[in-house]
Amino acid sequence: MSIEKITAYPEITNTVIEGDDVVSVTQGDYDTDKVTAHIKTSIAMVRRYEEKGYYTLEKPAFVGEVITAFTDLEVNKKDVIRANNFMDIQGYQECNRVWQLPDEMKVQVSQMLYGFYITYDTDNWEDFSVEPIEN
């Protein structure tokens, strides 16, 4: 048994830009309770796949399968910026994903992100906790 602590950031859904400045960033609508529920659902899904023999080559991992594959959370700010899902970007018509923005705007977006600490047991995933990252 090992206790691990990771960060998780909801993916971006909307960004508003005025001139050269990012004025707002909207991430998935999450609070501690919603992240907890989302992770519980993802753990249950991985467990069902595991029972059916889906993971034949390698045992599933909490971060790889539960967080990265089955949630719309990313484990660091860079991965949030790199996400390839469609985003509503207002005020900058040349792109529809944050990673396409100029570097200075990506830095501004990164500074606006909120996230959570997730502490979990590597053997018993169901034993985990979520707390907001205080900026």
At 84-99, the pLDDT tens digits run 888 899 998 889 999 9
In this predicted structure, what is the pLDDT of residue 111? 96
Q: pTM of this prediction?
A: 0.88
Read off the pLDDT of residues 51-85 as tens digits, 9 standing for 90 and up: 999 988 888 999 999 998 888 899 999 999 998 88
Strand ranges of the sheet holding 21-27, from the earlier edge strand across to the other edge = 21-27, 12-18, 88-90
Number of Cβ within 10 Å of residue 78's Cβ equals 12
Please state, in angstroms and rounded to a whole number, the distance separating the CA atoms of residues 12 and 28.
6
Query: Is residue 19 over pLDDT 80?
Result: yes
**Domain of residue 58, residue span:** 3-132
Counted domains in the chain: 1
Give 85's contacts (C-beta < 8 A, 6+ positions apart): 11, 72, 97
